[in-house]
Structure 1
Amino acid sequence: MKDFVKPFNGNPNDDIIKWLESIVHYFGIAQISGDKETLYFQYAPAFMKEYAYKWWANQKHYIFSWSIFKQAVITQFSEKNEYLIAQQFDQRKQQINEPVIKYYYDIIDLCKKYNSDMTDKQKIRKLTNGLKLSLYQEAIKETYSTSFDFLTKVQQLENIQKLIELRQNQTTQVSTIMKNDDKLSLPSHFYQSSSRQPNNYSTRPTYYSSSAQSDYSYTTQQSFPPPSNPYPSYDHYECNQNQQYPASQVPQSQQRYNQPYSVTQHKNYSSRKSDIYCYNCGQPGHIARYCQQETATSSTGQQQQKYSKNQ
Protein backbone atom coordinates (compact mmCIF):
# COMPACT_ATOMS: atom_id res chain seq x y z
CA MET A 1 0.00 0.00 0.00
CA LYS A 2 2.92 2.37 0.65
CA ASP A 3 3.82 2.19 -3.06
CA PHE A 4 0.39 3.53 -3.99
CA VAL A 5 -0.39 5.97 -1.20
CA LYS A 6 2.21 8.60 -0.31
CA PRO A 7 2.32 10.37 3.07
CA PHE A 8 0.33 13.58 3.28
CA ASN A 9 2.07 16.31 5.33
CA GLY A 10 -0.40 19.15 4.95
CA ASN A 11 2.10 21.55 3.30
CA PRO A 12 0.80 24.22 0.90
CA ASN A 13 2.28 22.41 -2.09
CA ASP A 14 0.69 19.04 -1.16
CA ASP A 15 -2.25 18.09 -3.35
CA ILE A 16 -5.07 16.79 -1.16
CA ILE A 17 -7.19 15.72 -4.14
CA LYS A 18 -4.46 13.46 -5.51
CA TRP A 19 -3.86 11.98 -2.10
CA LEU A 20 -7.52 11.06 -1.65
CA GLU A 21 -7.64 9.59 -5.18
CA SER A 22 -4.59 7.44 -4.46
CA ILE A 23 -6.40 5.89 -1.49
CA VAL A 24 -9.46 5.09 -3.58
CA HIS A 25 -7.26 3.71 -6.36
CA TYR A 26 -5.43 1.32 -4.04
CA PHE A 27 -8.50 -0.25 -2.55
CA GLY A 28 -10.04 -0.44 -6.00
CA ILE A 29 -7.38 -2.93 -7.13
CA ALA A 30 -6.60 -4.59 -3.79
CA GLN A 31 -8.38 -7.82 -2.98
CA ILE A 32 -9.57 -6.81 0.50
CA SER A 33 -12.96 -7.84 1.75
CA GLY A 34 -15.24 -5.33 3.41
CA ASP A 35 -17.00 -2.07 2.67
CA LYS A 36 -14.83 0.22 0.51
CA GLU A 37 -15.63 3.50 2.25
CA THR A 38 -15.08 1.90 5.64
CA LEU A 39 -11.65 0.76 4.47
CA TYR A 40 -10.89 4.25 3.11
CA PHE A 41 -11.73 5.88 6.42
CA GLN A 42 -9.88 3.21 8.42
CA TYR A 43 -6.53 3.46 6.56
CA ALA A 44 -6.38 7.09 5.38
CA PRO A 45 -5.41 8.70 8.74
CA ALA A 46 -2.41 6.33 8.99
CA PHE A 47 -0.75 8.24 6.08
CA MET A 48 -1.21 11.70 7.59
CA LYS A 49 2.07 13.26 8.84
CA GLU A 50 3.26 16.51 10.42
CA TYR A 51 0.61 19.26 10.12
CA ALA A 52 -1.99 16.89 8.68
CA TYR A 53 -1.55 14.50 11.62
CA LYS A 54 -1.90 17.37 14.12
CA TRP A 55 -5.11 18.42 12.43
CA TRP A 56 -6.46 14.85 12.57
CA ALA A 57 -5.55 14.50 16.27
CA ASN A 58 -7.72 17.53 17.04
CA GLN A 59 -10.63 16.67 14.72
CA LYS A 60 -10.95 12.86 14.93
CA HIS A 61 -13.53 13.04 17.72
CA TYR A 62 -15.92 14.85 15.35
CA ILE A 63 -15.47 12.74 12.22
CA PHE A 64 -17.17 9.32 11.97
CA SER A 65 -17.36 8.46 8.22
CA TRP A 66 -15.43 8.64 4.98
CA SER A 67 -17.69 11.26 3.42
CA ILE A 68 -17.28 13.61 6.42
CA PHE A 69 -13.52 12.97 6.51
CA LYS A 70 -13.18 13.70 2.81
CA GLN A 71 -15.11 16.95 2.98
CA ALA A 72 -13.20 18.10 6.09
CA VAL A 73 -9.68 17.53 4.69
CA ILE A 74 -10.58 19.19 1.38
CA THR A 75 -11.88 22.24 3.23
CA GLN A 76 -8.78 22.40 5.42
CA PHE A 77 -5.96 21.59 3.01
CA SER A 78 -7.17 22.49 -0.48
CA GLU A 79 -5.81 25.60 -2.16
CA LYS A 80 -7.98 28.54 -1.20
CA ASN A 81 -6.29 31.14 -3.41
CA GLU A 82 -8.47 31.21 -6.51
CA TYR A 83 -6.19 33.73 -8.22
CA LEU A 84 -3.21 31.40 -7.82
CA ILE A 85 -5.17 28.47 -9.26
CA ALA A 86 -6.34 30.60 -12.19
CA GLN A 87 -2.77 31.73 -12.87
CA GLN A 88 -1.50 28.14 -12.87
CA PHE A 89 -4.34 27.11 -15.16
CA ASP A 90 -3.61 29.88 -17.68
CA GLN A 91 0.17 29.52 -17.72
CA ARG A 92 0.46 25.73 -17.90
CA LYS A 93 1.98 24.76 -21.26
CA GLN A 94 3.66 21.63 -22.53
CA GLN A 95 7.44 21.85 -22.25
CA ILE A 96 9.75 20.91 -25.14
CA ASN A 97 10.79 17.49 -23.78
CA GLU A 98 7.67 16.83 -21.71
CA PRO A 99 5.71 13.67 -22.58
CA VAL A 100 2.13 14.15 -23.70
CA ILE A 101 0.76 11.87 -21.00
CA LYS A 102 2.31 13.93 -18.19
CA TYR A 103 1.06 17.17 -19.69
CA TYR A 104 -2.41 15.68 -20.13
CA TYR A 105 -2.93 14.63 -16.51
CA ASP A 106 -1.50 17.86 -15.12
CA ILE A 107 -4.04 19.82 -17.15
CA ILE A 108 -6.88 17.54 -16.05
CA ASP A 109 -5.93 18.11 -12.40
CA LEU A 110 -5.84 21.88 -12.92
CA CYS A 111 -9.22 21.73 -14.60
CA LYS A 112 -10.69 20.03 -11.52
CA LYS A 113 -9.25 22.71 -9.25
CA TYR A 114 -10.19 25.59 -11.49
CA ASN A 115 -13.70 24.39 -12.33
CA SER A 116 -14.94 20.98 -11.24
CA ASP A 117 -17.90 21.28 -13.64
CA MET A 118 -15.76 21.85 -16.76
CA THR A 119 -16.99 19.94 -19.82
CA ASP A 120 -14.88 17.69 -22.06
CA LYS A 121 -15.08 20.25 -24.86
CA GLN A 122 -13.54 22.92 -22.62
CA LYS A 123 -10.85 20.52 -21.42
CA ILE A 124 -9.96 19.55 -25.02
CA ARG A 125 -9.66 23.22 -26.00
CA LYS A 126 -7.34 23.86 -23.05
CA LEU A 127 -5.26 20.77 -23.82
CA THR A 128 -4.91 21.67 -27.51
CA ASN A 129 -3.91 25.30 -26.98
CA GLY A 130 -1.19 24.31 -24.51
CA LEU A 131 0.59 21.83 -26.78
CA LYS A 132 4.09 22.61 -28.06
CA LEU A 133 4.13 23.97 -31.59
CA SER A 134 5.29 20.81 -33.37
CA LEU A 135 2.30 18.86 -32.01
CA TYR A 136 -0.16 21.74 -32.11
CA GLN A 137 0.17 22.07 -35.90
CA GLU A 138 -1.06 18.49 -36.32
CA ALA A 139 -3.45 18.27 -33.36
CA ILE A 140 -5.73 21.09 -34.59
CA LYS A 141 -6.45 19.05 -37.74
CA GLU A 142 -8.12 16.29 -35.70
CA THR A 143 -11.49 16.09 -33.97
CA TYR A 144 -11.90 14.54 -30.51
CA SER A 145 -15.00 13.09 -28.87
CA THR A 146 -13.64 13.04 -25.29
CA SER A 147 -10.57 14.24 -23.42
CA PHE A 148 -9.25 10.67 -23.32
CA ASP A 149 -9.70 10.43 -27.09
CA PHE A 150 -7.51 13.53 -27.30
CA LEU A 151 -4.79 11.78 -25.28
CA THR A 152 -4.85 8.70 -27.53
CA LYS A 153 -4.58 10.58 -30.83
CA VAL A 154 -1.97 13.11 -29.69
CA GLN A 155 0.20 10.29 -28.34
CA GLN A 156 0.15 8.78 -31.82
CA LEU A 157 1.31 12.11 -33.26
CA GLU A 158 4.03 12.21 -30.64
CA ASN A 159 5.32 8.77 -31.67
CA ILE A 160 5.37 9.77 -35.35
CA GLN A 161 7.41 12.86 -34.58
CA LYS A 162 9.88 10.81 -32.57
CA LEU A 163 10.42 8.52 -35.57
CA ILE A 164 10.97 11.54 -37.85
CA GLU A 165 13.47 13.07 -35.44
CA LEU A 166 15.30 9.75 -35.19
CA ARG A 167 15.51 9.54 -38.99
CA GLN A 168 16.83 13.09 -39.23
CA ASN A 169 19.49 12.39 -36.62
CA GLN A 170 20.63 9.30 -38.51
CA THR A 171 20.88 11.28 -41.75
CA THR A 172 22.94 13.97 -40.02
CA GLN A 173 25.30 11.38 -38.56
CA VAL A 174 25.82 9.73 -41.95
CA SER A 175 26.62 13.04 -43.65
CA THR A 176 29.09 13.90 -40.88
CA ILE A 177 30.85 10.54 -41.26
CA MET A 178 31.08 11.03 -45.04
CA LYS A 179 32.64 14.47 -44.62
CA ASN A 180 35.21 13.07 -42.20
CA ASP A 181 36.06 10.26 -44.63
CA ASP A 182 36.56 12.78 -47.43
CA LYS A 183 38.96 14.77 -45.27
CA LEU A 184 40.94 11.65 -44.36
CA SER A 185 41.24 10.64 -48.03
CA LEU A 186 42.98 13.90 -48.99
CA PRO A 187 46.83 13.85 -49.09
CA SER A 188 48.64 15.23 -46.10
CA HIS A 189 50.45 17.93 -48.09
CA PHE A 190 47.04 19.46 -48.91
CA TYR A 191 46.51 20.35 -45.26
CA GLN A 192 50.11 21.53 -44.88
CA SER A 193 49.87 23.87 -47.86
CA SER A 194 46.48 25.13 -46.70
CA SER A 195 47.68 25.74 -43.16
CA ARG A 196 50.81 27.51 -44.33
CA GLN A 197 48.95 29.77 -46.73
CA PRO A 198 49.57 33.38 -45.62
CA ASN A 199 46.60 35.55 -44.83
CA ASN A 200 48.21 38.80 -45.91
CA TYR A 201 48.23 38.78 -49.69
CA SER A 202 50.31 41.95 -49.89
CA THR A 203 53.37 40.07 -48.57
CA ARG A 204 53.36 37.46 -51.32
CA PRO A 205 56.42 37.62 -53.62
CA THR A 206 55.81 38.45 -57.29
CA TYR A 207 57.63 36.38 -59.88
CA TYR A 208 58.38 37.60 -63.40
CA SER A 209 59.57 35.70 -66.43
CA SER A 210 62.93 36.37 -68.00
CA SER A 211 61.29 38.22 -70.90
CA ALA A 212 59.34 40.43 -68.50
CA GLN A 213 62.52 41.20 -66.58
CA SER A 214 64.38 42.17 -69.74
CA ASP A 215 61.48 44.38 -70.86
CA TYR A 216 61.43 46.05 -67.50
CA SER A 217 65.22 46.60 -67.58
CA TYR A 218 65.04 48.06 -71.10
CA THR A 219 62.17 50.38 -70.18
CA THR A 220 64.00 51.58 -67.08
CA GLN A 221 67.16 52.28 -69.03
CA GLN A 222 65.35 54.18 -71.77
CA SER A 223 62.99 56.12 -69.52
CA PHE A 224 65.54 57.34 -66.99
CA PRO A 225 68.74 58.49 -68.79
CA PRO A 226 71.52 60.12 -66.79
CA PRO A 227 71.79 63.90 -66.71
CA SER A 228 73.75 65.29 -69.63
CA ASN A 229 77.22 66.55 -68.81
CA PRO A 230 79.17 68.46 -71.51
CA TYR A 231 82.51 68.03 -69.75
CA PRO A 232 84.78 65.57 -71.58
CA SER A 233 86.77 64.82 -68.45
CA TYR A 234 83.91 62.73 -66.99
CA ASP A 235 85.09 59.55 -68.70
CA HIS A 236 88.55 59.96 -67.30
CA TYR A 237 87.15 60.78 -63.87
CA GLU A 238 84.92 57.70 -63.86
CA CYS A 239 87.77 55.44 -64.86
CA ASN A 240 89.95 56.83 -62.08
CA GLN A 241 87.14 56.31 -59.59
CA ASN A 242 86.78 52.65 -60.52
CA GLN A 243 90.55 52.10 -60.41
CA GLN A 244 91.24 53.84 -57.10
CA TYR A 245 88.57 51.98 -55.11
CA PRO A 246 88.47 48.21 -55.44
CA ALA A 247 85.10 46.49 -55.34
CA SER A 248 85.74 45.16 -51.85
CA GLN A 249 86.24 48.69 -50.45
CA VAL A 250 83.35 50.36 -52.24
CA PRO A 251 80.01 50.16 -50.36
CA GLN A 252 77.47 47.75 -51.78
CA SER A 253 74.92 50.51 -52.35
CA GLN A 254 77.47 52.45 -54.41
CA GLN A 255 78.42 49.34 -56.37
CA ARG A 256 74.80 48.73 -57.27
CA TYR A 257 74.41 52.34 -58.29
CA ASN A 258 77.61 52.67 -60.32
CA GLN A 259 77.50 49.35 -62.12
CA PRO A 260 74.37 49.83 -64.26
CA TYR A 261 75.31 53.45 -64.97
CA SER A 262 78.83 52.71 -66.19
CA VAL A 263 77.77 49.78 -68.37
CA THR A 264 74.50 50.77 -69.98
CA GLN A 265 73.62 54.35 -69.22
CA HIS A 266 77.14 55.58 -70.01
CA LYS A 267 76.74 54.19 -73.54
CA ASN A 268 73.68 56.34 -73.97
CA TYR A 269 75.66 59.32 -72.72
CA SER A 270 78.47 58.59 -75.23
CA SER A 271 75.96 58.49 -78.06
CA ARG A 272 74.70 61.89 -76.94
CA LYS A 273 78.22 63.35 -77.14
CA SER A 274 78.38 62.42 -80.82
CA ASP A 275 75.53 64.85 -81.47
CA ILE A 276 77.63 67.81 -80.15
CA TYR A 277 79.84 69.70 -82.66
CA CYS A 278 82.51 72.31 -82.06
CA TYR A 279 82.00 75.49 -84.11
CA ASN A 280 85.78 76.18 -84.14
CA CYS A 281 87.07 72.94 -85.59
CA GLY A 282 83.82 71.36 -86.75
CA GLN A 283 84.57 68.06 -84.99
CA PRO A 284 81.92 66.19 -82.93
CA GLY A 285 82.17 65.27 -79.25
CA HIS A 286 83.04 68.62 -77.66
CA ILE A 287 82.25 72.33 -77.66
CA ALA A 288 84.46 75.28 -78.57
CA ARG A 289 85.32 75.97 -74.95
CA TYR A 290 87.10 72.65 -74.71
CA CYS A 291 88.40 72.51 -78.28
CA GLN A 292 91.91 71.02 -78.32
CA GLN A 293 92.81 72.66 -81.64
CA GLU A 294 92.01 76.11 -80.29
CA THR A 295 94.08 75.39 -77.21
CA ALA A 296 97.03 74.30 -79.33
CA THR A 297 96.73 77.38 -81.58
CA SER A 298 96.55 79.76 -78.64
CA SER A 299 99.53 78.03 -77.01
CA THR A 300 101.61 78.39 -80.20
CA GLY A 301 100.68 82.06 -80.49
CA GLN A 302 101.74 82.74 -76.93
CA GLN A 303 105.11 81.06 -77.54
CA GLN A 304 105.71 83.15 -80.66
CA GLN A 305 104.89 86.36 -78.80
CA LYS A 306 107.26 85.39 -76.02
CA TYR A 307 109.97 84.58 -78.53
CA SER A 308 109.59 87.93 -80.30
CA LYS A 309 109.79 89.79 -77.00
CA ASN A 310 113.00 88.04 -76.08
CA GLN A 311 114.57 89.06 -79.39
Structure 2
Amino acid sequence: MEGNSFANLIQSTALKELSKFTGDRQRKVTQYIDAVEHIGVFTELNESLLHSTATIKLGGAAFNWYDNNKETLRSWRELKQNLLELLKPSLSTAKTQLKELKQQSGETLIAYYDDIIDLCRQVDN
Protein backbone atom coordinates (compact mmCIF):
# COMPACT_ATOMS: atom_id res chain seq x y z
CA MET A 1 0.00 0.00 0.00
CA GLU A 2 2.80 2.43 0.88
CA GLY A 3 4.57 1.75 -2.42
CA ASN A 4 1.40 2.53 -4.36
CA SER A 5 0.85 5.85 -2.57
CA PHE A 6 4.52 6.73 -3.14
CA ALA A 7 4.15 5.98 -6.86
CA ASN A 8 1.02 8.16 -6.95
CA LEU A 9 2.94 10.98 -5.24
CA ILE A 10 5.75 10.71 -7.78
CA GLN A 11 3.29 10.74 -10.70
CA SER A 12 1.44 13.73 -9.27
CA THR A 13 4.67 15.66 -8.67
CA ALA A 14 6.02 14.83 -12.13
CA LEU A 15 2.78 15.99 -13.76
CA LYS A 16 2.87 19.28 -11.84
CA GLU A 17 6.49 19.86 -12.83
CA LEU A 18 5.88 19.21 -16.54
CA SER A 19 5.19 22.62 -18.04
CA LYS A 20 2.56 23.26 -20.70
CA PHE A 21 3.66 22.79 -24.29
CA THR A 22 2.16 25.47 -26.52
CA GLY A 23 4.05 24.78 -29.73
CA ASP A 24 6.06 27.99 -29.63
CA ARG A 25 9.69 27.79 -30.72
CA GLN A 26 11.05 28.62 -27.24
CA ARG A 27 10.43 25.08 -26.04
CA LYS A 28 11.44 22.40 -28.49
CA VAL A 29 9.01 19.61 -29.23
CA THR A 30 11.79 17.08 -28.74
CA GLN A 31 12.37 18.36 -25.20
CA TYR A 32 8.66 18.07 -24.44
CA ILE A 33 8.44 14.52 -25.79
CA ASP A 34 11.59 13.52 -23.91
CA ALA A 35 10.14 14.95 -20.68
CA VAL A 36 6.87 13.04 -21.13
CA GLU A 37 8.73 9.81 -21.87
CA HIS A 38 11.06 10.35 -18.91
CA ILE A 39 8.03 10.66 -16.63
CA GLY A 40 6.63 7.51 -18.22
CA VAL A 41 9.79 5.51 -17.57
CA PHE A 42 10.26 6.87 -14.08
CA THR A 43 6.65 6.23 -13.02
CA GLU A 44 6.07 3.14 -15.21
CA LEU A 45 3.18 4.64 -17.20
CA ASN A 46 1.58 2.62 -19.98
CA GLU A 47 0.98 4.05 -23.48
CA SER A 48 -2.53 5.21 -22.63
CA LEU A 49 -1.36 7.15 -19.58
CA LEU A 50 1.53 8.64 -21.55
CA HIS A 51 -1.00 9.89 -24.10
CA SER A 52 -3.16 11.37 -21.33
CA THR A 53 -0.16 13.00 -19.64
CA ALA A 54 0.97 14.57 -22.90
CA THR A 55 -2.46 15.86 -23.92
CA ILE A 56 -3.23 17.31 -20.48
CA LYS A 57 -0.12 19.46 -20.78
CA LEU A 58 -0.86 20.85 -24.25
CA GLY A 59 -1.82 24.51 -24.36
CA GLY A 60 -2.26 27.36 -26.82
CA ALA A 61 -1.74 26.53 -30.48
CA ALA A 62 -0.57 22.99 -29.65
CA PHE A 63 -3.84 22.26 -27.84
CA ASN A 64 -5.88 23.75 -30.70
CA TRP A 65 -3.99 21.55 -33.17
CA TYR A 66 -4.61 18.49 -30.99
CA ASP A 67 -8.28 19.36 -30.52
CA ASN A 68 -8.74 19.69 -34.29
CA ASN A 69 -6.96 16.38 -34.99
CA LYS A 70 -7.72 14.23 -31.93
CA GLU A 71 -9.58 11.61 -33.97
CA THR A 72 -6.29 10.63 -35.63
CA LEU A 73 -4.17 11.08 -32.49
CA ARG A 74 -5.60 8.35 -30.29
CA SER A 75 -2.34 6.75 -29.11
CA TRP A 76 0.88 8.08 -27.64
CA ARG A 77 2.76 6.76 -30.67
CA GLU A 78 0.49 8.65 -33.11
CA LEU A 79 0.57 11.83 -31.03
CA LYS A 80 4.35 11.75 -30.71
CA GLN A 81 4.91 11.06 -34.43
CA ASN A 82 2.56 13.85 -35.51
CA LEU A 83 3.99 16.36 -33.04
CA LEU A 84 7.46 15.65 -34.37
CA GLU A 85 6.38 15.92 -38.01
CA LEU A 86 4.54 19.17 -37.36
CA LEU A 87 6.97 20.98 -35.09
CA LYS A 88 10.43 19.48 -35.43
CA PRO A 89 12.81 21.86 -37.20
CA SER A 90 14.00 20.79 -40.62
CA LEU A 91 17.46 19.30 -41.03
CA SER A 92 18.75 22.45 -42.72
CA THR A 93 17.37 24.62 -39.91
CA ALA A 94 19.01 22.43 -37.27
CA LYS A 95 22.33 22.50 -39.15
CA THR A 96 22.18 26.29 -39.45
CA GLN A 97 21.31 26.69 -35.78
CA LEU A 98 24.18 24.39 -34.80
CA LYS A 99 26.62 26.28 -37.00
CA GLU A 100 25.54 29.68 -35.64
CA LEU A 101 25.07 28.70 -31.98
CA LYS A 102 27.06 30.79 -29.53
CA GLN A 103 27.03 30.74 -25.76
CA GLN A 104 24.91 33.64 -24.57
CA SER A 105 25.97 36.07 -21.87
CA GLY A 106 24.82 34.65 -18.55
CA GLU A 107 24.11 31.22 -20.05
CA THR A 108 25.64 28.38 -18.08
CA LEU A 109 28.08 26.08 -19.77
CA ILE A 110 25.81 23.09 -19.14
CA ALA A 111 22.84 24.87 -20.78
CA TYR A 112 24.99 25.74 -23.80
CA TYR A 113 26.29 22.15 -23.96
CA ASP A 114 22.71 20.80 -23.75
CA ASP A 115 21.68 23.03 -26.67
CA ILE A 116 24.57 21.69 -28.75
CA ILE A 117 23.73 18.07 -27.92
CA ASP A 118 20.03 18.65 -28.72
CA LEU A 119 20.89 20.17 -32.12
CA CYS A 120 23.34 17.33 -32.86
CA ARG A 121 20.59 14.80 -32.15
CA GLN A 122 18.24 16.65 -34.50
CA VAL A 123 20.86 16.60 -37.25
CA ASP A 124 21.58 12.89 -36.65
CA ASN A 125 17.89 11.95 -36.75
TM-score > 0.5, shorter chain as reference:
yes
Q: State the Cα distance separating 1:36 from its structure 2 match.
A: 2.6
Residue 112 of structure 2 corresponds to residue 103 of structure 1: yes
Q: 1:45 to 1:105 in 2, by over 3 A?
A: same
Contact 2:73 2:79 in 1 (8 A): yes
The 4+ residue runs of structure 1 with deviation greater than 6 A are none
Q: Which of the pair has more CA radius of gyration? A: 1
Instruction: Quote the residue 1:15 is aligned against.
Output: 28
CA distance in 1, matches of 2:124, 2:51: 26
Contact 2:28 2:88 in 1 (8 A): yes
Instruction: Quote the residue 1:66 is aligned against.
Output: 76
SS of structure 1 residue aligned to 2:21: coil
Residue 21 of structure 2 corresponds to residue 2 of structure 1: no
SS of structure 1 residue aligned to 2:16: coil
Letter in 1 for 2:72: Y
SS of structure 2 residue aligned to 1:26: helix
Instruction: Quote the residue 1:172 is aligned against.
Output: none
CA distance in 2, matches of 1:96, 1:76: 31
CA distance in 2, matches of 1:79, 1:94: 20
RMSD after superposition: 2.1
Q: State the Cα distance separating 1:102 from its structure 2 match.
A: 1.9
Identity percentage over the alignment?
Answer: 26
**Residue pairs, 1:1-311, within 5 angstroms:** 1-3=15-17, 5-30=18-43, 35-80=45-90, 82-94=91-103, 98-116=107-125
TM-score for both structures, normalised by structure 2: 0.75
Larger RCO (alpha carbons 8 Å, 6+ apart): 2
Q: How many pairs are equivalent?
A: 111
Structure 2 runs not aligned, ≥5 long: 1-14
Instruction: Quote the residue 1:244 is aligned against.
Output: none
Q: 1:97 to 1:69 in 2, by over 3 A?
A: closer
CA distance in 1, matches of 2:106, 2:99: 20
Letter in 1 for 2:38: H
More helix by share: 2
CA distance in 2, matches of 1:96, 1:14: 19
Q: State the Cα distance separating 1:96 from its structure 2 match.
A: 6.8
